[in-house]
Amino acid sequence: MTAATASQTAGPYWHLIDFPEWADLLRADGPNAGVAGGERIVLTGRVTDGQGAPVADAMVEIWQADPEGRYDGAFHGFGRCGTDADGMFRFVTLKPGPVPGRGNQTQAPHVVLSIFARGLLKPLVTRLYFEGEALNETDPVLQAVTPARRATLIARPTGAPGEWRLDIRLQGEGETVFLDI
């Protein structure tokens, strides 16, 4: 057995593999063209570092289930977005459904977020949940997090139609809960 290849930083010039249209999972000429149904949502947030400064050179990737909670359906639940000068990311996608967990558990609707950047020798992985979902109360990952830090995983509506916001703090006060997957 050979151990998995070591991770290295994506560095500051990863934008050479940035295709900004990938942040819109519902783009007309993309892999989800023709996928019908589901609720269109916008996921946004700001990535900041331990000094509260925006992380302006991060690559954020998402991975999620379709509105029925399936990963093997027609919906391509992957997106990539570079943060802007203010550290903001923005995805357009469909709201995922609840996903089976281990045993008889059910996972609340969630989106995986991975952060790659200069200064990160391996990605930081977290999840975005949706405020107000009844299943949040029993979600195994949320329950594994101390209640005081749980809010760092829960997006809130911004007031704009279908738009949810979750800020990512890499370090320090209000530090996002990152997952060891």
Partner 1 sequence: MTDPTGYRRPDPATQPPYDVPAYGSTHHRHPKQALVRVPHTLTEVSGPRFSPAWYAPHADLSTLNGKAALGERIIVAGRVLDEDGRPVRGAMVEVWQANAAGRYHHPGDQHDAPLDPNFLGRGRVFTDEEGSYRFTTIRPGAYPWRNHPNAWRPVHIHFSLFGAGFAQRLITQMYFPGDPLLAYDPIFNGIADAAARERLIARFDLDITEPEWALGYRFDIVLRGREATPFENDGAH
Q: Is 98 in the site for partner 1 (CB under 8 A)?
A: no
By beta-carbon proximity to partner 1, the closer residue of 121 and 134 is 121
Give 170's contacts (C-beta < 8 A, 6+ positions apart): 47, 48, 49, 50, 55, 115, 124, 176
Q: Which two tokens stand for residue 18?
A: 């940035």
By beta-carbon proximity to partner 1, the closer residue of 39 and 172 is 172
Q: Is 26 in the site for partner 1 (CB under 8 A)?
A: no
Q: How far is the CB of 160 from partner 1 (least distance, A)?
A: 27
Q: Is 170 in the site for partner 1 (CB under 8 A)?
A: yes
Choosing from 8, 37, 148, 159, the residue that interacts with partner 1 (CB under 8 A) is 8
Q: Is 36 in the site for partner 1 (CB under 8 A)?
A: no
Give 49's contacts (C-beta < 8 A, 6+ positions apart): 55, 170, 171
Q: Is 178 in the site for partner 1 (CB under 8 A)?
A: yes
Q: How far is the CB of 40 from partner 1 (least distance, A)?
A: 19
On whether the CB atoms of residues 55 and 47 are closer than 8 A, the answer is yes
The length of the chain in residues reads 181
Q: Is 145 in the site for partner 1 (CB under 8 A)?
A: yes
Burial class (CB in 10 A: 0-12, 13-18, 19+), 94: buried
On the CB side of 181, CA atoms within 13 Å amount to 13
Segment (H or E) for 147: helix 147-150
Binding site for partner 1 (CB under 8 A): 1-17, 30-31, 49-51, 53, 55, 57, 61, 63, 65, 71-72, 76-78, 99-103, 107, 110, 112, 114, 116-124, 140-141, 144-145, 149, 170-172, 175-181
